[in-house]
Amino acid sequence: MPLEEIAVSADFALLLASAAILGYVARLTKQPTIVAYVLTGVVIGPIGLGLITGESGLIEVIAELGLGFLLFLLGIKMSFEDIKEIMRPVGKIAVGQAILQAVASTTLALLLGFTLYQSLILALATTFGATPIIVKVLSDKDELKSLYGRVDIGVLIFQDIYLVFALAILAVGTVDSAEQIAFSISRVIVLMIVMGVGAYLASKYVLPTLLRASATNKSALFTVGIAWAFVFIYAAEVLDLSVELGAFIAGLALANLPYSTELKEQMRPVTDLFIAVFFASIALQMERGQLLVYWQEAVIASFALLTINFFIVFGLFYSQKFDMETSFLGTISMLQVSEFSIVLGALAVNEGFVAEAILGFLSLMALITMPISTYYVIYNREIYERVRPYLERFEHDDPIEFDPLTYENHAVIVGYDGVTGRLTETLENRFEDVVFVEDQRERIETLRRKDLEFIFGDSRHGEIRKDANVREAALVLSTLDRTDINRRLIEDAGNADVIVLANDEADANELEQTGASHVIREQQLLEDAVSTILAGVDDEGTIGEKNDVIRWKNEAGTRSREGDFDV
């Protein structure tokens, strides 16, 4: 192996090892891992020990893929169905934010002594929210599908679109040619439309068949998902579009397909690895000398823009009649200087628009605001509780109401077979919604033919259980004889009545102690046992007089701690 390749591999290994150590320390001290990853780049990069520089091609590629895959997963999670009801106010917030923040940033830069030309470049670069931080933290908090989470994601989509336009304008290399700028923007619009139409047609006529064929083998499903993401990442790269936008479009094409949740779970570990490299690589691009040229101005601008942008974004949320909680939570997620600021700044330097010191100014602002913002996004609800008494007096009389697309007080059936198939009618008579969780393709096809609600995926994945909304279910029935999965279902189930299978007495005792409502020992008794249990369900879908635990087993009928029962 050539020495250069060995050096690149050593850099990558050092980066991962350092990120793992600092990430572990962050968990021990209950600090955000994102901050640990950013500090990794600071410590081992040019700013700190100088062990690694941003010139490593492998790190640069993996970091860019990390951001691309993060946007790919975001696309899978956030179909346009999720935000179409609030698209109009989201559009107004996004456009208003871009204009008002640009004016505020330009004014502030002028006051700090920058020239008008420099101020305009700085305003252009500081308009965008930090997509990776917002998406990662909201995903970890399970709030991507909350109302404020949907609004923030909608605003980020708009920002990603006009980021592409900004890159196209700077790539022209001169602002003297209005005709060239118009051509560049028109080209971007056409190419985005072409990619969008291609993704839509594929989601209708190609992907369902392709994913259905690969669903029997989880490795094949993972490979198809990765390949699909790379198709759009490559297309965006070839067409000089944003890799992130291409990946997001690829994810949107999968969003409404039944295999998307399982695919998302399979890709999550790879994405987490890549995104850790991405956050660490941010500081690797920075030079200590560049950061210090305008360090005082950067510190002042960071805290000034955090404050100014809060009032701008909060005012825009409030003007669209969102309630106070949504306005506040949505606002404090969108205030930081983004990693895209560094991207735009670097391009402006390369094209000769500004000096390298301006890139250092933007880099230091990102380094200050991104870690700070991670904390206040994580603790956004705690912060809101402290200021709520002062904000409630300004609450709208008729704020926007939004019902999330989720199940509630429903039945979740893990595993579809002949028994649960025969129980379907009984369950549908008792519960408004009955959702099956299944990971076998043949059974999924049966559920599809019978027009039954289902989620494709392995119920051991937390995201699958979240999509089924196990926590808000009224009944959870598992036909699996996997104690580990059944234990997780019980722990997630909240106040639901949980009926599970057990392999033996030891498993039954463990599931009982975990909190199962009913433990069934024999598969062949499942149908009769569930029918008997459901006979006690009232009109509202809850079991009125239920025993602590019923141990249904094929030994002289069944017994429970309450007494004997015959099946």
**SS3 assignment for 17-80:** HHHHHHHHHHHHCCCCHHHHHHHHHHHHCCCCCCCCCCCCHHHHHHHHHHHHHHHHHHHHHCCH
The residues, any chain, with a CB within 8 Å of residue 227's CB and separated by 6 or more, are: none
Segments making up each domain of the chain, as ranges: 44-394, 410-538
Quick one: what percent of the chain has pLDDT higher than 70?
Answer: 82
Per residue in 134-165, pLDDT tens? 877 787 777 877 888 888 888 887 887 777 67
Residue 300 has pLDDT above 90, yes or no: yes
Residue 537 confidence class, pLDDT cut points 50, 70, 90: low
Give the pLDDT of residue 103: 92
Residue 546 has pLDDT above 80, yes or no: no
Residue 267 or 386, more confident: 386
Query: In the predicted model, what is the mean pLDDT of residues 496-512?
Result: 82
Helix, strand, coil shares of the chain, percent, nearest 5, are: 70, 5, 25
Query: In the predicted model, what is the mean pLDDT of residues 24-37?
Result: 77
In contact, 550 and 558? CB cutoff 8 Å: yes
Question: Which CATH number describes the domain made up of 410-538?
Answer: 3.40.50.720
Query: In the predicted model, what is the mean pLDDT of residues 537-544?
Result: 47
Question: What CA–CA distance (Å, rounded) separates 440 from 190?
Answer: 41
Q: Which of 140, 179, 188 is nearest to 160 (CA)?
A: 188
What SS3 state is found at 438? Answer: strand
Task: State the DSSP H helix or E strand holding residue 413, giving kind and residue range, or none if neither.
Answer: strand 411-414
Give the pLDDT of residue 561: 35
Task: List 454's β-bridge partners, or say none.
Answer: 436
Question: What CA–CA distance (Å, rounded) separates 140 from 125?
Answer: 27
Residue 540 confidence class, pLDDT cut points 50, 70, 90: very low
Per residue in 449-464, pLDDT tens? 888 888 888 888 777 8
Residue 488 has pLDDT above 80, yes or no: yes
Give the pLDDT of residue 439: 81
Residue 5 confidence class, pLDDT cut points 50, 70, 90: low
Give the pLDDT of residue 403: 56
Give the pLDDT of residue 311: 92
| Token couple for 539 | 């009109």
- DSSP secondary structure code for residue 113 in this structure: T
Residue 12 has pLDDT above 50, yes or no: yes
What SS3 state is found at 414? Answer: strand
Average pLDDT, the chain: 77
What SS3 state is found at 215? Answer: coil
Question: What CA–CA distance (Å, rounded) separates 436 from 439?
Answer: 10
Give the pLDDT of residue 565: 33
Per residue in 202-230, pLDDT tens? 888 888 888 877 777 777 888 888 888 88
For 5-19, 364-378, 415-429, which range has the lowest pLDDT when averaged over its residues?
A: 5-19
Query: In the predicted model, what is the mean pLDDT of residues 370-375?
Result: 81
Question: What CA–CA distance (Å, rounded) separates 151 from 97?
Answer: 13
Highest averaged pLDDT of the listed ranges 57-61, 177-181, 190-194, 342-346: 190-194
In contact, 171 and 217? CB cutoff 8 Å: no
Question: Which CATH number describes the domain made up of 44-394?
Answer: 1.20.1530.20
Are 44-394 and 410-538 in the same CATH fold? Answer: no
